[in-house]
Amino acid sequence: MADPPAEIDNSCLLQGKNLRRNISERSDYTLLHELQWRLLHGWYGGGPVIARKVIRVGGYYNASLQVEVHLLNVLLVKSSDLQTTVSEVLPFVTICVYL
């Protein structure tokens, strides 16, 4: 009987707490529905869990759904103090640009 597969190891996809920028879907990772992940994780364990949201992209008539693989990093600077910055990942931010 063959040995069971090793634990899931997603650490090679990360740089610190963020996903590496130079990774590609299909060659480096596969997107899974949450239920598929729970099943595989239940069988094999491991991690870390890298959860992402599906977002709506495009206008009203040509909208499509995409997985937000790389989260938006926002740099906040207080205008009176340009030396102090705060960088934070905000997963539920929508930015609207009106021209």
pLDDT tens-place string over residues 10-43: 999 998 888 888 888 889 999 999 999 999 999 9
- Comparing 10 with 55, the larger pLDDT belongs to 10
pTM of this structure: 0.62
Please spell the DSSP secondary structure of 5-23, one letter per residue: PPPEE-GGGEETTEE-TT-
Residue 98, pLDDT score: 40
Backbone φ and ψ for 42, nearest 5 degrees, come out as: -65, -40
Picking from 24-38, 45-59, 80-94, which range would have the lowest pLDDT averaged per residue? 80-94
